[in-house]
């Protein structure tokens, strides 16, 4: 039996981008880190490096491979994390993909893939982690939504639907689990600096920046800091926190 020492956070899709920033931020705050990667390739290309950075803060950090759109794979991973890390105190449902396209040209596979990875994964992970948190009478669940789930976005009907669904899951989870001292909130990022935004033509980037009130992109660190705040606050639940620089105003 693993002796419980620190709070343990499990982050899906944590081998890069926002997920990696969240992992490092929580490690710096004293959490032990469970890093979910889709497959061995993602583990080797990013997960291992994220774990090393987390350990530099003195935290325990381990990688766990699972396709979070798979219900049974999620159950297996949750059991493995709980056994190896000593429990799961914070779940951050961060894994997500895009398959953009206009409504009239979008194929069924494009739509279904995004729903499976972005939305069903949140149900899968929350369903399996909830029982552990209920027994402990403590838990923090943080789901990654998007401004697209709040106001929609052209060319992203699948993505917007998945993120709007996450908001619905968040609010229902908060109502069902609140009596067990489990909070559930969502973060809705706007335009965040990434490899994708860096590769865009300057004219497009300028237009995106102009659409925000603060006239600049956000960073993965802005999202990570918000996640840590929600994890450490025990009286905020069922909320959707926009980290968007005023994009949705």
- Distances 199 to 80, 187, 195, 196, 209 between C-alpha atoms, Å: 38, 25, 6, 5, 15
Dihedral angle, C-alpha 104, 199, 113, 102, nearest 10 °: -10
3-state secondary structure of 15: coil
Distance CA 106, CA 109 (A): 8
Q: Tell me the torsion sign for CA atoms 202, 100, 185, 194.
A: negative
**Do residues 110 and 159 touch, judged by C-beta distance below 8 A?**
no
Task: Give all strands (DSSP E) within 46-181, no chain letters.
Answer: 61-65, 90-93, 139-144
Distance CA 208, CA 12 (A): 28
159 as an active site residue: the answer is: yes
**Do residues 159 and 152 touch, judged by C-beta distance below 8 A?**
no
Catalytic residue, candidates 4, 31, 159, 235: 159
Distance CA 144, CA 153 (A): 16
Closest CA to 141 of 169, 120, 160: 169
3-state secondary structure of 11: strand
- Enzyme catalytic residues: 159
């Amino acid at each position: 039996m693993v002796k419980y020492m620190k709070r343990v956070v499990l982050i899906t899709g944590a081998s890069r981008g926002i997920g990696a920033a969240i992992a490092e931020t929580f490690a710096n705050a004293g959490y032990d880190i469970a890093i979910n990667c889709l497959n061995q390739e993602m583990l080797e290309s990013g997960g291992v490096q994220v774990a090393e950075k987390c350990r530099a803060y003195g935290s325990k950090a381990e990688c766990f491979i699972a396709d979070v759109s798979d219900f049974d794979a999620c159950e297996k991973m949750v059991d493995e994390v709980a056994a190896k890390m000593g429990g799961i105190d914070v779940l951050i449902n961060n894994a997500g993909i895009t398959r953009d396209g206009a409504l009239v040209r979008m194929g069924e596979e494009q739509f279904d893939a995004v729903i499976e990875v972005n939305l069903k994964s949140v149900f899968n992970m929350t369903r399996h982690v909830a029982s552990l948190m209920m027994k402990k009478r403590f838990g923090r669940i943080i789901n990654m939504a998007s401004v697209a789930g709040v106001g929609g976005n052209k060319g992203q009907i699948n993505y917007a639907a998945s993120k709007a669904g996450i908001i619905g899951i968040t609010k229902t989870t908060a109502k069902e689990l609140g009596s067990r001292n489990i909070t559930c909130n969502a973060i809705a990022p706007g335009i965040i600096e990434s490899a994708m935004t860096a590769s865009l033509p300057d004219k497009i980037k300028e237009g995106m920046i102009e659409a925000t009130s603060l006239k600049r992109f956000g960073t993965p660190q802005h999202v990570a800091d918000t996640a840590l705040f929600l994890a450490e606050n025990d009286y905020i639940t069922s909320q959707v926190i926009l980290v968007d620089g005023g994009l949705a105003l």
